[in-house]
Structure 1
């Protein structure tokens, strides 16, 4: 009976592992590179891992820049075994790989490769010792990254609490990791477009918010990034003419924060609240389930309430002169 139970646990672990490792997985984190007495560090490298079966996979290391540039290369068929607590272990092994540099093929000869993939905290650690081409000294490359999860879906963007616009397909990249035993998130807000807004066709550039931590009162991972020094590119185009095309900061006197909610291990919702520079209105972008915990984002579209608004979405009175919007239509008021 005990043997059957052990086999069932092993089978379940294998199934769980295969489910988690479908396709290429990307891990982002800090790395170091050592050659002789020279040590170089990189705060952000990307490593890819493709699981071929239950005992081997392909690992792609990034381009490494030091005394010379070593192109990105793939270690094919790296062998591993399942350790305790869902930790995939790469026992010490040799490897070879080849790269093409300006039409010439160079060989990478690896004397040692060790590492782990911890499915509990989504971390991937690797140490590779190798020689590149005819270089006389071996190089030691260390990296520890955390899984970057790409989540795709529709967003709804509310401007100034009055106008709501949609984009049916955007992809956020979410990286979960631990720092001093505190679980954190980094979120890459993607570039996306909004068409036919009151300002024309808009393009909102991407940026990365780092260090979200779990906030029980908000039910998700949260960060106020007002003072993080972030910038992003913003464009507005009307009737074929760009009216705005520059990098902008966030208004330090207005709310600028992001909230990521999970349902189990799945990102359920991302709510990003921000205000761009001196622009007079705030923006709330909602990805995923917009009905949960964000009452007021999808308020009734007030541009159909019979009142007058200017092109910035602000309510104006009868003495206002210029272009106004009433019930979603533009008029010139003299």
Structure 2
């Protein structure tokens, strides 16, 4: 079972535009990643400066469902990891179809049609077929007004900049506690589409950056053409995960106390591996708990590991092995892992 579940696995997680924040995307040059944004103070009376966190995020959320585009997407992490992808995105306000072609690393093409995801791996002539309810659109939420985001985050416009040739508002989204990271978001002024995103630690340092290096808004992307490209070629093998939807209670698990702001979304079990995945979100950040039987030969190292903004914690709990993954501070993963309780 994949260890990073939210979205396509950038993750960063994650990571909506977090349906675009995919692990397929590329990094900007190190100097660009570290460069401070050009910030101009909002003018008094500018309505954009008065938007609430829900206003800003709703606008970004809606833009990702209403605009078609083609672009080259770039992701860079503070640990030097880099990746790139070419993206074709078509939508009609109701349905979305997207193709993500990796430009670095293993050759792969990922197609998403609503919650259906197909990943084509040409070297092995394999297609992985999945259904993902959490699509990772940034912001990763159903809608901001359906979450407790305003209780745990603030947002304000801090300036303007140009990204991939488009004028953008720079919006700072900061957490009110130490359980989550902050974000600096570049939102295209006319549409609200997210064109650049930085994930920030508690000191304001950039942990991960994702951005379009080139973008065609309202490009003539035909939804039907992308759907036709999802056809599996003759002779290719199709792999489908055996994940079954369940509940944590049905599997005998619970949390001693809720983690502030995070609500459970889904729970899955993969019978062939005996792994349970329990997914949580606060509307922006996601956490997955993977629970399986302890195996002394495989499960040898406990600790916390980082890759950009994604942290992973591994821990033995009696006869169980727990892996917590999320784009959150290590303290949040510890709270989840230590709060996990076996009820039967």
TM-score (norm. length: structure 2): 0.23
User: Bigger relative contact order, structure 1 or 2, given CA contacts below 8 A and separation 6+?
Assistant: 2
- Bigger proportion of residues as helix: 2
TM-score (norm. length: structure 1): 0.23
